[in-house]
Structure 1
Amino acid sequence: MSGTDIRSGHAPRRPEGPAASSPVAGRVWAATRICLGLVYLWAFFDKTFGAGFPTPPKYAWLTGNSPTLEFLGGARGPLSHLFRSLAENRLVDLVFMAGLFGIGAALLLGIGMRVAAAAGVVMMALLYLTALPPRVNPLIDEHVVYALVGVGLAAANAGDVWGLGRPWAATRLVGRLPWLR
């Protein structure tokens, strides 16, 4: 019975997530998750409070300014008319800021990685489309890379290392709705 657990008679269960490759890979994915989470959270806090990196205090969301004005208002390319029409829309501002905070918090905590990855892909795809064609590389920019890294983090269960992914996965809610993993 080679390759079978003698006690149960079944093939041994393969580890899932980062541990499947190596402990070092798990820590690298965890560090990447934390860094990407901080990228999203920094964007949220900078746009909210105008920390000056890059949002000046006078353009902070808390002072009544639109966090989407600069990016959407400066959209270029084939969809620029659509994106410019969305700039300064209060609902778009709220959804954008909630997305930045929610994705960043989920990544930092290591919970809801699948939802964070899906939301991150949508957000990054929309941001990518606002700046067509990319200025530095004719095909790929940081938005594509962030989207792919987010998917990789979810696929690797990167929230399980240095995060709350395992306890989160053990909750009844996630047991009933595994897509919340």
Structure 2
Amino acid sequence: MSLDTRLRPSPSLAAEHPARYALAIGRLFLGWIFLWAFIDKLFGLGKGTESGWLSGTSPSKGFLSRTDGPFKEIFHSMAGQVWVDALFMFGLGGLGVALILGICLRLAAIGGTILMFMLWAASLWPDTNPFMDMHWIYAAMLIALALTDAGSTLGFGRPWACLL
């Protein structure tokens, strides 16, 4: 056994590294952001919306009909469309559930990055920076969570992987 092998931490110790817990907590926080947005837009709890999707209010119409940027015509035409509302709501809810449970993080990273890109493009140009805003930070976090298998700590990622 080489000295290099003896100094390397065992897999069980590496799995309990504090950075894994920091990523897991970040995953839970980000999951709550998406899940709360879904719940608020579904029921219209008054935190970000006045009335919910279940009351017949389009979750996309208000935001997309007021976009003002290089892609405003595209987003204005999408505003209030049933398919846009459904994709948006299932995307928010799916991201929230996947992140909180720690399952399907690769799929969540792909779908979430696409959603963040679309929301970023709809809100061009950011007020305080030439191009960077929270959407890119969320996308980077989603990708990092998927690449580090962050669902295995404080989540169901490990048992979920055994099912597949």
Q: TM-score, normalised by structure 1?
A: 0.83
1:52 to 33, 46, 52: 46
Q: One-letter code of the match for 1:93?
A: D
Q: What SS does the aligned partner of 1:77 have?
A: coil
Q: One-letter code of the match for 1:148?
A: A
Q: Determine if the alignment matches structure 1 residue 111 to structure 2 residue 109.
A: no
Corresponding residue of 2:2: 2
Can you give the 5+ residue segments of structure 1 that lack an aligned partner in the other structure?
6-11, 174-181
1:13 shift after superposition: 10
Corresponding residue of 2:127: 135
Identity %: 43
Q: Determine if the alignment matches structure 1 residue 75 to structure 2 residue 67.
A: yes
Matches within 5 A, 1:1-181: 1-2=1-2, 15=11, 19=14, 23-56=17-50, 59-171=51-163, 173=164
Q: One-letter code of the match for 1:130?
A: A
Q: CA RMSD in A?
A: 2.1
Q: What does the per-residue CA deviation read over 1:119-156, in whole Å, with 9 as the maximum and x for residues that have no partner?
A: 11000000000011111211211111100000011111
For 1:32 and 1:151, locate their aligned partners in 2 and report how far apart those are by CA, in whole Å: 12
Q: Which moved more, 1:150-159 or 1:69-78?
A: 69-78
For 1:42 and 1:49, locate their aligned partners in 2 and report how far apart those are by CA, in whole Å: 11
Q: TM-score, normalised by structure 2?
A: 0.91
For 1:111 and 1:159, locate their aligned partners in 2 and report how far apart those are by CA, in whole Å: 6
1:14 shift after superposition: 7.9
For 1:73 and 1:148, locate their aligned partners in 2 and report how far apart those are by CA, in whole Å: 27
For 2:104 and 2:9, locate their aligned partners in 1 and report how far apart those are by CA, in whole Å: 24
1:2 shift after superposition: 1.8
Q: What does the per-residue CA deviation read over 1:32-59, in whole Å, with 9 as the maximum and x for residues that have no partner?
A: 0000000000000000111111111xx3
For 2:148 and 2:9, locate their aligned partners in 1 and report how far apart those are by CA, in whole Å: 17
The 1:139–1:14 alpha-carbon spacing in structure 2 relative to 1, beyond 3 Å, is farther
Q: What SS does the aligned partner of 1:147 have?
A: helix
